[in-house]
Every structure is written in structure tokens, then in C-alpha cells.
Amino acid sequence: MRVVPQAAPGDPDVLRVGSHLVWALIAAMAGAVMVAYWAAGLTIDYSSLPAVALVLPICAAVVLFYRFLRPDIGIVYSTESIAQILLIGFLGALLAYAAATLGLPYRDAELLAADRWLGLDLGAYVAYADARPWLALVGVLAYLSMMWQPAIVFVVLTLTRRIARLHDFAVALAVSLLVTIAIFALCPALGWYGHLGIDPAAYPHLQLFWNFAAHLESVRSGALHAIPLGDLRGIISFPSYHTAAAVLAIWAVWPVRFARWPMLALNALMVASAPIEGAHYFIDVIGGGVVGAGAVMIAEWTRHAIRRYCAASTRLRSKTQSAVPSNGKQSWKDLHAAGANYEYTT
């Protein structure tokens, strides 16, 4: 009996090339970490391990099973995407510490001046939130949501069979992180709480996530040279990566109607909470939005380039190639060939 090829959630050639591109970006980021840490004299403290160290072996096991024992394109590439997104975030956090060692002067005075030039009053904004405990609680929950928003994006895109868009999301994530880190290296900032010497007790209803300041100061001074894997902190103020991540998350799920507006509302709250909970200047938020939008444009351009490349390759392939081997079982290569005419879902 002829085995009907299992439908892949997108053109298999597009998925393959997209996956290779993301892995190439990850390899480049890993190489950058090694070179930067060597140049800066930094080492890595392995005494505590991040959550990514527990998830990656599970992802690897799932990928190997569904690639060699029970070939399934959708499961392989969606599971790979989990590992890719985690690795990009992890390597980006490591790179930020290396960028901090450049030790250029803080630019808080200029960033605060930009806010005032725009007519924006950080003090009044924060005081307004602190005077409304319910609003402060919503703000802190929204701010912390960045930690699990990539998981939401993964679930939504996987359930709606938009695996190729997961690759687009990973590309945009890598690009936005690299651009953010490059700007941070040239324009470091302590955040407005630290710059103005704000006492957290003055705002009892706010969480005030500015514990990054200790790591930032220590790595800049050389006191912290063994970076703890289990305690990586977001040490970037300008541009706000929370805002860049918000743009990416909204864009990633925008084609999915049931997720579009909830994700927009959640990320609007997250962006609004960045100056309150994350010690960001308003100009940080604007800068993060520009970085996120630029990363989306690059990811969109890359996707179209991949589609053109794969379309050209498909035209050169023989259209009479059999999709099923003689033993009636589907191999990984056969699934790719059989799925060549499946719609590329975005």
C-alpha cells in the first residue's frame, strides 16, 4: 500500500534553508562570544547552569527521534526552533557582558536630556504608577512577561503550522540582539534610578528591576570577570530590548487572528512598564522600537530571499522523482522531496 506523505507545515526546502540560516547565525554568535571573552579577559563560571542547559538535551532527543526513527518535518523544525530561540537569547546575554567591558562613559545625562527635550517627565510617570498599586502590579507582570513570551510565540506558530515564521522570528531575534548590544557597547547607561540615585523605598509599590546595575558596574570595573551562567542579567539600558522584543512578538503572531490582539495588548503594557520597572528612559523605549522594526524588516527581506532561492532550486529538480522509496517507508530525504509543493505558510 502506498504511503501518503505527511503534510509539512510549509515548503520543506524553505524550512531547511531557514533552519540552516538560523544555525549559522547561532554559530556566528557563539564565535563572537569566544573571541570577545578572550579579548576582554572574561571567563565563564559553570558552577550554576541556566535552564537552557536542561532544555537543549530534550530538544536534541526529540529532533533525533523524529528525524531518523519516525521522520516528521514539522516536529523536527518546530523543536529545533525551541533550541534556536533559547540559544540566541543565551548567547546574546553573554555578549552583552563582553560589550560592557569596553567601558565607555555612561550616557545617562544625554539620555535624560533627550527625555526632557521631548517633554516627558519620568518622575511624574513613575509616581503615577506607584500611587495606584493595581497598576503597579499589572506593570510588573507585563514587564516579566518577556521571559515567557517566546514560548507563547512558539506555541501559537506551531499550532497554526507556521514553522517557517518561527525561523523568521529567530532571525529577527538574533539581528535585534546583535544591534542592541552594538549600540549598548558605544552608549552604555546605568538607568535613570541609578543615575539619579533613587531610593527604592520612595516607591514602595514598585518592583524596580535595577539589580542589573551591580553586574554592570562590576564587569566594567573588572571586579566581575567570571560570568555566572546561572545568573545572567539584562544589563542593557539603551536601547530597551524589552521594547524591541515586544515589536518582534507582535509581528510574529500578527497573521494569527486569535492571538493578534491579546499579544498587542500584553506588549503595549510591557512597553509602558519599561520606564517604571526597568529603569529605562523614554528614549530607550523609542530606540528599542526602532531596533525591533529594523530587525523585522531584515527578517522579512531574508524570508523573501529564501523563497526565491528555493523556488529557483525547485525548478531545477526533476518533477518525476518518486516521493516514496521502494520499501514503502518514508525517509527524511523523501519527506523533503514529497513536500516540495506544499504551501509556504506565513
Q: How far apart are CA 294 and CA 331, in angstroms?
A: 39
Classify residue 104: in a domain, yes or no: yes
Q: Provide the strand spans (E) within the chain.
A: 43-45, 226-228
Residue 96 falls inside a structural domain: yes
Q: Tell me whether residue 335 is exposed, middle or buried, using C-beta atoms within 10 angstroms of its C-beta: 0 to 12, 13 to 18, 19 or more.
A: buried
Q: What is the pTM of this model?
A: 0.86
Closest CA to 164 of 330, 312, 305: 305
In a domain, 324, yes or no: no
* Domain membership flag for residue 112: yes
Looking at the domain assignment, is residue 2 inside a domain? no
pLDDT at 200: 76
**Beta strands, E only, 170-289:** 226-228
What is the predicted pLDDT for the residue at 34? 95
Is the CB of residue 50 less than 8 Å from the CB of residue 57?
Answer: no
CB 233 within 8 A of CB 215: yes
What does the alpha-carbon distance between residue 231 and residue 87 come to, in Å, rounded to a whole number? 16
282-316 vs 257-277: helix axis angle to the nearest 10? 140
Q: Domain containing 213: what range?
A: 12-316
Torsion, CA 125, CA 129, CA 135, CA 140, rounded to 10 = 90
**In this predicted structure, what is the pLDDT of residue 210?**
66
Question: How far is the C-alpha of 329 from the C-alpha of 284, rounded, in Å?
Answer: 55
DSSP secondary structure of 108-152: HHHHHHHHHHTT--HHHHHHHHHT-HHHHHHHHHHHHGGGTHHHH
- Whether residue 57 is contained in a domain is answered as yes
* Phi, psi angle pair for 342, to nearest 5°: -70, 150
Identify the pLDDT of residue 322.
46
Look at residue 50 in the predicted model and tell me its pLDDT: 74
Compute mean pLDDT per 10 residues along the chain, 346 residues long, and list them.
Answer: 38 85 95 95 84 83 88 86 92 94 93 94 89 88 90 91 91 96 94 83 77 84 87 89 96 94 96 90 96 96 89 65 48 48 41
The verdict on residue 33 lying in a domain is yes
User: How many domains does the chain fold into?
Assistant: 1
What does the block give as the cell for 78? 518546530
Residue 162 lies in a domain: yes
DSSP H or E run through 332: helix 332-338
Phi/psi for 307 (5° steps) reads -65, -40
